[in-house]
Chain A
């Protein structure tokens, strides 16, 4: 698939901007701070309904404006769809497909698929487990959009259950009365719902990791010959502390059972601490190089290779399913050494579409000659 047309209004630094992209490489060149990343971030927003840089929507709206609009025309196997999202922080965003409103913004997920590689990706390796869970969940939702709903339901139940644990735990420590019994009685209800959505999310992630894991190992091997990188999913309900990998299709119901059993086991502890200790929100995608965990041990170069291997594996996975995702490479070539550069350039050079940003032309490998855009002083002009 590819993005033919992008139009933004009051998005980040841009009051308005409009670009027509071609197939193959499209390179946005301009000095730092000119708004290049802002433009590709807008493309990423339509794919994930979130930014790769911030968790909330507020920073995405141009300072002083109350809402932003991102619109793109996506061509997929000859079919053309126009997506737009109106981003209004503090209210529900609105999305449309071919100008017809959809019920919820997340109904547009899966229409535009991107694989986004940028400087922030170092935190895929070095950051908190939450970064890696987000990587998995975004990829999951982009493959099967229903997981965005599962994840949203899970998060909502989790917040409710955590609130209940806090109050019920507090009551339990103090005077116990009829009212706390009622509250504890509802805890079981929330346990069930948490386990149900948790089981679904967990099944999705486990299946995803099973498919992704050999691709990551292969991609890393090409970037750093001799290096053996592995990924492994560790979950709070798993056997023996939960390391699982590649165990074939996962069954949401039996995973829900396992979560429920674990919830029962730690209930007292949860009430004492007032936190939800079991569920996919506590899980970790473990990255190892050789025998050592990548986080805390890998060198700067190895960390970059691992981050890139994860993105390339995601790209391979989505591509193997038919519609090729749009590859976005945000300001990354300057960061990479020669081998990683040329490996990435080889993949990107064959992509149906790749959007590249760079501060100077010299940073962009020769394979990626194609559409050029010069971004300067709040304007985008087509280069030659």
Chain B
């Protein structure tokens, strides 16, 4: 669903593909549409679910239904047809759409139960619930609408990075570069109580030279960046939006020839 075949591509810092899930999701080709929506759902379902749970203060079962409802509408081209990239970023637009779905459902006298023929996405809500216990305290401090946008962006980046890391792990395993990923995991992902371990310490543990630690980490970081940027480009509607999101997510500003 995410990051297929992007690792170890060209030498450029930014992906060359210009395929956009937003455009493909409006395609008449069912396979193309399905691929695009899978990608959008994988990147957005957790932030959307957490947002409904915490910002709208919905219980878990109701938030699950609303999340399913939201993505069903997305699949049915309810939302993406109206999206204008010149007016907003996709993630901002989708969050506003979520607000609309939840508000409309709340206005109705009781939620409409979706019929038996309604699409049901297989989403791991229990994992999202576990994550919620960690992000809930941060959301309680949110006061302004701008802060809510920032919180949603952070959750979206968390979702994007989580999928990127998973993709990197799979690719490293496939290419026999497990040590590369393990070093990346220890050095960049783990929250060690005493802070980051030194390269020398890691080199001793893995029986390699300290310069190898540097090189392996550089490889893993480079591939992680490539994966994230490739997927980011896919879930952005326009080149301009991709540039802005790349800047937000990784602090990078793509060049014209990237």
B partners with A: no
Residues of A within 8 A of B (CB): none
